[in-house]
Chain A
């Protein structure tokens, strides 16, 4: 089991990660979710032993991994956020190099390359230069390069940014297979809520260098169990109306998009009748009206007052 205790990192006095406590049990699939700049990559770099924390501890099966980085390095594979590949070489040559630095040789190396290529669906393009690949193919190769030595823990840093849905699904499917069939422990970083929701047993939500919530999806959603989320569509909107909606008792948050209002309010508040009343007063027509089950996206909104994509 991998564990971090009060892990912190400052760059030139600026605190980027603060008192982060996180654990990864064997065979788990854990998500690290947060908007850009939350400190996810910095956290990953510390966990994978690439940078040293300013303070705090990292242990691997109880052994201090800051002093003995080999403890983590020998069992983990890291998929970096950037495309760490030789663009001038073919996929095969890239994997040959990244496999050989893990001391794989001869038949063993060839087999590992073949499996990794098939796993990410690049077997038929293995002779082509990486430079000629689409963004999604490069991302897939970036993952393959971390799998050659069959790591027990796979750490992925935003492996799906900026790619086509097809490649994205392929990657999500591949990660799920690794976790469920091979028992690989997964630490998956993303700012896409849906991916983490689909893929992970447990997740940590990070913002401004701190973990603001952690738990299983159900546990996190329970944060919102005392709230209702209502989506309202109207034929027109004005400031005064929105202001008055805000003053309705029990309303926590309002998000306005064009002619839509998303309202999060305490359960059981007589929101609906008051809303109807207000629309009549402002001569606004209610077109549509819907209560929604809250998502993790709403949990984040609830905790930070911002959406993940902000």
Chain B
């Protein structure tokens, strides 16, 4: 087995470009579609009230307190036009004490904008309420008070663990990392077919090497290189880009490992249906991108409600992996809480692997 592992590794060592590109790709995709880390997004604001200028000035000042967004006042017509044409993702229509969001695309960044705007308006409403009772200017007082309150409300989950706010960027980080993992592990599983067609597999069959060792050599290599990709990406995001990926990195890696095993088995199942590596290259990349869509991993959890889609998503490890990871990262749950998801992934893996290897073996006779 370790000889097979060595040969696969030696090939990638000679041509590390694909693996490196996929690692960089998962990082780049997260940064690009997740709205970036520090990149400032400009959000247009406008008002159509009688005292538009006054309202825009007031809220513009209050809104521009966040590093990630710059709120810019524009003409109402232009704002509506840009939204219609899709030039901007979101615009905020301001009123005296309220706002409306105009959205063109449901980009992940939109929900971050919404969170921020909502917070500012709520806080302002509270200040206003206190003012109307106390009279006079209490804003400064309240603001300094809020910065250092005597009582701090700490939200806690059932298990007394701290609730971290849901964050679409972190979700996307895992979604893209897993998407790319699926490609990487699939290409490595396809080496079985590649070496079969080349005749290298036959050389191994004739040697004293056992068949189980041959399969495990290929599959273990696929597993290890994919785990390498996932762990590198996670470490970059956690320690270099300071993303919030929770405190329990080992549990996340365990979930990723079960996911990788499950997906390798599915790649093996697909291998059972193809004769040549080219056929695999034609089928696999057209199936893989559908899995995250069906599993809803690019959207807020709970967006997909169609029972058929939910059922299909459950057949693949991705939905289970994402569910487990979200609960670990955002709600700090432990191993027991995600055990069911892990078992599901292992079960999918065992079934798909069994059927896949059987099909491959039947093909060769």
Contact = CB atoms under 8 A, between A and B. Distances in A.
B209 interface: yes
Contact of A89 (B14, B199, B207): B14
B198 A52 contact: no
Nearest to B15: A88
A291 B155 CA distance: 107
Interface in B4-20: 4, 6-7, 10-11, 14-15
Interface string A174-217: 00000000000000000000000000000000000000000000
Interface string A60-89: 000000000000011010101011111011
B206 A49 contact: yes
A100 B10 contact: no
Contacts of A119: none
Chain A interface bracket (under 10, 10 to 19, 20 to 34, 35 or more): 20 to 34
Contact of B202 (A84, A85, A149): A84
A97 B3 contact: yes
Given A86-B11, A89-B11, A101 B207 contact: yes
A80 B204 CA distance: 12
A102 interface: yes
B203 interface: yes
Interface string A99-126: 0111100000000000000000000000
Interface in B200-221: 200, 202-209
Majority SS at the chain B contact face:
helix
Q: Which of B15, B198, B204, B206 counts the most A-chain CB atoms under 10 A from its CB?
A: B206
A84 B199 contact: yes
Contacts of A145: 203
A50 B202 contact: yes
A82 B10 contact: no
Nearest to B7: A97
A300 interface: no
B38 interface: no
Contacts of B198: 82-85
Contacts of B206: 48-50, 73, 76, 78
Interface string B335-353: 0000000000000000000
A78 B4 CA distance: 19
Interface string A248-288: 00000000000000000000000000000000000000000
A84 B200 contact: yes
B15 to A, nearest CB: 6
A297 interface: no
Contact of A52 (B4, B14, B199, B365): B365
A84 B203 contact: yes
Contacts of B11: 86, 88-89
A142 to B, nearest CB: 9
A146 B10 CA distance: 21
Nearest to A76: B206
Contacts of B10: 86, 89, 93, 97
B303 to A, nearest CB: 44
Nearest to A102: B207
A101 B211 CA distance: 12
A127 to B, nearest CB: 12
A78 to B, nearest CB: 6
A101 B365 contact: no
A84 B198 CA distance: 5
Contacts of A149: 207
B205 A88 contact: no
B202 A101 contact: no
B203 A98 contact: yes
B102 to A, nearest CB: 54
A129 B13 CA distance: 13
Nearest to A145: B203
A33 B14 CA distance: 40
Nearest to A84: B199
Interface in B221-247: none
B202 A86 contact: no
Contact of A85 (B3, B4, B200): B200
A46 B203 CA distance: 14
Nearest to A48: B206
Given A86-B7, A89-B7, A93-B10, A80 B199 contact: yes
Interface in B158-215: 198-200, 202-209
A97 B6 contact: yes
B293 to A, nearest CB: 34
A101 B3 contact: yes
A75 to B, nearest CB: 11
Contacts of A52: 365
Contact of A83 (B199, B202, B204, B365): B199
B210 to A, nearest CB: 10
B14 A101 contact: no
A80 B202 contact: yes
A83 B4 CA distance: 18
Interface in B303-334: none
Contacts of A103: 208
Contacts of B208: 73-74, 101-103
Contacts of A88: 11, 14-15
A86 B12 CA distance: 12
Nearest to A146: B203
15 contacts: A48-B206, A49-B206, A52-B365, A73-B206, A74-B208, A76-B206, A78-B203, A83-B198, A83-B199, A84-B200, A84-B202, A88-B15, A97-B7, A98-B207, A101-B207
Interface of A: 48-52, 73-74, 76, 78, 80, 82-86, 88-89, 93, 97-98, 100-103, 129, 145-146, 149
Closest 10 CB pairs of A and B: A84-B199, A101-B207, A100-B3, A82-B199, A97-B7, A80-B199, A101-B209, A88-B11, A84-B200, A88-B14
Given A86-B10, A97-B3, 5 more contacts: A50-B206, A73-B208, A84-B199, A86-B200, A101-B3
